[in-house]
Amino acid sequence: MWLEIIYLVSGLAIGFIVAKVFLDNKNSANDSKEKDFSQATIHELRAYLTNLGWIFEKLIEKGVPSYTDDEYKAISLGKSTVANANNLINDTLAAVSVGRQEARFRFSINDINKMIESIVSEYTMIAKERGIDFTFTSSAVPIPLFFFDNSQMYIAIHDLVHNAMKYTKNGGSINISTKLEEGRVIVTVRDTGIGIPEEEQKNIFTKFFRAKNAKDLYKEGSGLGMYISKNIITRHNGSIKLQSKEGEGTTIEVSLPLLQTEPKENKN
């Protein structure tokens, strides 16, 4: 049994090393072949981690009575570590994608409220288990369909909601809302989480940055989520701003143009 655990953890350690090498050399891949190799390596690593996650799931399915407390804790830790590693890989791939100006977004007519509802449904059960008042307030005035990249915008808003859920304590509240304002769509994510220290707020959208209180609460984290969100929103000619008070919570407001024609970059 312990040989299985050691094997899995060793493999996971190798995965983290590969990810670290990729991140440490993120600025050195100027040649297109190097970029392709780096992305291929990351994709391979993600597949490897997915397999590890599946193995941990199967070990857990074996049942608690079959393990000692220490063994079960080791398996549970392995499962959560795989999940954290996968999050790092996903964030890295997204950061590489949105950071390349030549990357083409696929704009099409979409429903922003429907997209947000799919994100809300993903976190509803987690919020319920943690006693978090998690609500979505859609615009009183119907928001018409408009042009945006549904997949990319999903990532941007999902990262904002993920952060709110991660840094809001049990029993807190999170509200997502949409509204129309002067020909633009406003998406707001408001939480009663740990907040961001005032002196660190200017860096919150910087690649790899994490606020001190966030690192104190959770050691793991890529520091890429907010950077990715801002880049995606900027590529939509949108804007994102933040209001936060440490110990009280954070409000993030996203403003998007209500595009009724397909952007030129999408037609090329």
**What pLDDT is stored for residue 6 in this prediction?**
43
CA atoms within a 13 Å half-sphere pointing along the CA-CB vector of 146: 16
Handedness of CA 79, 153, 95, 40 (dihedral sign): positive
**What pLDDT is stored for residue 121 in this prediction?**
86
Q: For a pLDDT cut of 90, what percent of the chain falls above it?
A: 40
Distance CA 94, CA 99 (A): 8
CB 113 within 8 A of CB 121: no
Which residues are within 8 A (CB) of 68 and not within 5 positions of it... i.e. 6 or more apart?
none
Burial (CB < 10 A; 0-12, 13-18, 19+), residue 217, is middle
Better-predicted residue by pLDDT, 80 or 165:
165
Q: Does residue 223 come out as left (phi exceeding 0), alpha (psi in the -120 to 50 range) or beta?
A: left
**What pLDDT is stored for residue 103 in this prediction?**
59
Token pair 């994490």: residue: 210
Tell me, rounded to whole angstroms, the distance of Cα 236 from its chain centroid. Answer: 18
Token pair 């570590």: residue: 81
The pLDDT confidence band at residue 168, using thresholds 50, 70 and 90, is: very high
Burial (CB < 10 A; 0-12, 13-18, 19+), residue 168, is buried
The pLDDT confidence band at residue 60, using thresholds 50, 70 and 90, is: confident
- CA distances 7 to 52, 53, 68, 81, 249, Å, are 10, 13, 19, 14, 41
pTM of the model: 0.68
What would the mean pLDDT of 161-170 be, rounded to a whole number? 93
Token pair 């919150």: residue: 204
- Of 66-75, 177-186, 253-262, where does mean pLDDT reach its minimum? 66-75
Domain made up of 108-266: CATH architecture: 2-Layer Sandwich (3.30)
H helix runs in 1-149, sequence order: 2-24, 32-61, 69-99, 112-129
Which residues are within 8 A (CB) of 99 and not within 5 positions of it... i.e. 6 or more apart?
231
CA atoms within a 13 Å half-sphere pointing along the CA-CB vector of 80: 9
Q: Which CATH superfamily is domain 2-99 in?
A: Magnesium transport protein CorA, transmembrane region (1.20.58.340)
The pLDDT confidence band at residue 187, using thresholds 50, 70 and 90, is: very high
Q: What residue ranges do the domains of the chain occupy?
A: 2-99, 108-266
pLDDT, tens digit (0-9, with 9 covering 90-100), for 104-159: 788 999 999 999 998 898 888 889 989 999 999 999 999 999 999 998 898 899 88
What is the rounded average pLDDT for all residues in the chain? Answer: 79
